Amino acid sequence: MPQAQIGPIAVHYPKRRETNEQLQAEFPDWDMDLIGQKTGIESRFIAEPNETSADLAVAACEKLFAEHGVDRQCIDFILLCTQTPDYPLPTTACLIQHRLGLKQSCGALDFNLGCSGFVYGLALADGLLRSRAARNILLITAETYSKYIDPDDRSLRTIFGDAAAATLIFAVDGQEGVGAFQFGTDGAGADTLLVSDGGTRPSEHAIKPRHRKRWKSRLYMDGPSLLSFTVEAVPQLIGQVLELADVSSDEVDIYLLHQATRKMLEQLQSRLQVDESKLPIRLTNCGNTVSCTLPILISDLRQEGVLKPGSRTLLIGFGVGWSWAGCTWQVGPKFG
């Protein structure tokens, strides 16, 4: 039975880099030292006004093909995770297929998920591979949350960054890859992180923010409620994944968690009673890139030599929706 394995990853950021020092100069009354301590973020990348998620995605894919010797004609399916598509329709993944010059027998679809999206994408890819509908899948995450954020919004501008990541997911036989998927959904939390305009629901009937909206941004976030949700849901999710995989916590070499903020990750580390060396934090130079954080984290840890072939890891995503998902991943020999 074929199983999904995570292959090479290519990450692409916009050219414009925004630092905390620049924000401090622009807004002298912002306490950027305190904000930096809480978020763990010192800079983030911001897309240009005419630069879209598809533009970032195409650049990441071209980098994947060039730097890792991936033949674009071997791609059987595109899975694009984004909450900032180029258009309501057509499907952005179809536009990417055309721009990349992939074969017309290639399947392509978008799915709208945020911080849990990479794990959901792995599950979709694993299903396609197990059913033998595909052998090589391009899992793309691409986000330009900055387009939803007002420049004066201290609560959001200091956290979110734009990015895209292209990951080759391929079938392996007789080897461990990803598995033991577990999911969670609670739409009651939709009012804690949302963009309520731009869809087909009339504004007078749209979901209202949980608390008073303090900023002009189209994006609203209730940080305290998200933190409370996360520290409750994630430990339970990890327990469910470990039970399904019949693995003890001691057998996990590294926990790969969505890179939300340093404060949130440190609270999870404390709650899980995991040594900081087993729960890496790598968002200092790029910020919270939503669905891109996990592939960026994997790419960084590979370059650092932290992820070694055979390492047993947990991949955990959580956030907007509310939506959360987790799985096991044994690092493969070829790209680990």
Q: Token pair of 54, please?
A: 């598809």
Amino acid 93: pLDDT: 98
Report the 10 Å Cβ neighbour count for 287: 28
Which H helix or E strand runs over 25? Answer: helix 20-26
Report the 10 Å Cβ neighbour count for 197: 10
Amino acid 147: pLDDT: 97
Superfamily of the domain at 3-175: Thiolase/Chalcone synthase (3.40.47.10)
Amino acid 336: pLDDT: 43
Amino acid 260: pLDDT: 98
CA angle 293, 28, 152 (to 5 degrees): 55
Q: Is 316 helix (H, G, I), strand (E, B) or coil?
A: strand
From the list 258, 286, 292, 327, the catalytic residue is 258
Same fold, 3-175 and 179-330: yes
Q: Domain segments of the chain: what residues?
A: 3-175, 179-330
Put residue 294 in one of left, alpha, beta given phi > 0 → left and psi -120 to 50 → alpha.
alpha
From the list 12, 136, 288, 292, the catalytic residue is 288
Active site residue 258: yes
Which CATH architecture describes the domain 179-330?
A: 3-Layer(aba) Sandwich (3.40)
Overall pTM > 0.95: yes
Structure letter (DSSP) for residue 320: T
Q: How many angstroms separate the most distant Cα atoms in the chain? A: 59
- CA–CA distance, 156 with 158 (Å, rounded to integer): 5
Active site residue 115: yes
Amino acid 334: pLDDT: 64
Q: Mind listing the pLDDT tens digit for each residue in 16-42?
A: 999 999 999 999 999 999 999 999 999
Amino acid 319: pLDDT: 97
Active site residue 288: yes
From the list 61, 81, 106, 115, the catalytic residue is 115
Residues in the chain, pLDDT under 50: 336
- CA–CA distance, 171 with 270 (Å, rounded to integer): 36
What DSSP assignment string belongs to 224-282?
HHHHHHHHHHHHHHHHHHHHHHT--GGG--EEEE----HHHHHHHHHHHT--GGGS---
